[in-house]
Amino acid sequence: MSWTDERVDVLKKMWGEGQSASVIAKELGGVTRNAVIGKVHRLGLSNRVTSTTAKPTAKDKAKAGMKAKPAVPAAPPKPISAPETVRITPPAVRKIIPAGQPLPPQPSANEISPEALAKVSEVEKTAKRISLMELTEKTCKWPVGDPATDDFWFCGLAVKTGKPYCEAHVGVAFQPMSSRRDRRR
């Protein structure tokens, strides 16, 4: 569709009458509302005069008939009193380690069974040592090392069905509930 002189004249006339871009697009045919708006702006017609003699539509009449309901302020929430015996303890303070610094030993590593750790260390000797960009749905996503160093990699071995890790790393990451309970005691 091209903007011929006749079509531009119709656009200018209808825009000056206060017609909407959608109505103009339907009248012209073969153009969208956005095309009409774009042409209006390119022609510099965006400042139009709206007609005060236009008849109100059914929507306008419905809006005028509806009265705005005053907003009812919400009641402030009632304070909840806690029993005297409840004490809230602050969470443990965590130390923020700057990038490039090695991470401290993680306490969870000491709680894992020696058999699982031995299996992981054997598997990590044969791991593919892939980068983040090489990870797929079929590669083990177990991270090894400090992400802030160049010696960081992912296992990359074949994953166990339905899990993100290989069999050895699944044994470390997903431990049965009973063994976790036993460690806490």
Question: What is the predicted pLDDT for the residue at 109?
Answer: 45
- The 10s digit of each residue's pLDDT in 62-111 is 556 555 555 666 666 666 655 555 455 455 555 666 777 776 655 454 46
pLDDT of residue 158: 93
Q: What is the mean pLDDT of residues 7-30?
A: 91
Question: Is the pTM for the entire model greater than 0.85?
Answer: no
Q: Give the CA distances from residue 163 to residues 38, 85, 111, 170, in Å, rounded to whole numbers and listed in that order.
A: 53, 43, 22, 7
In whole angstroms, what is the distance from residue 14 CA to residue 128 CA? 70
pLDDT, greater one: 83 or 41: 41
Task: Give me 110's structure tokens.
Answer: 């000491």
For residue range 12-22, what is the model confidence (pLDDT) as tens digits?
999 888 899 99
Length of the chain: 185
Q: Which residue type occupies 78? A: K
- CB neighbourhood size of 168 (10 A): 24
Give me the torsion for CA of 146, 148, 151, 154, rounded to 10°: 60
**pLDDT value at 140 more than 60:** yes
Number of other CB atoms surrounding residue 166 within 10 Å: 22
Burial class (CB in 10 A: 0-12, 13-18, 19+), 23: middle
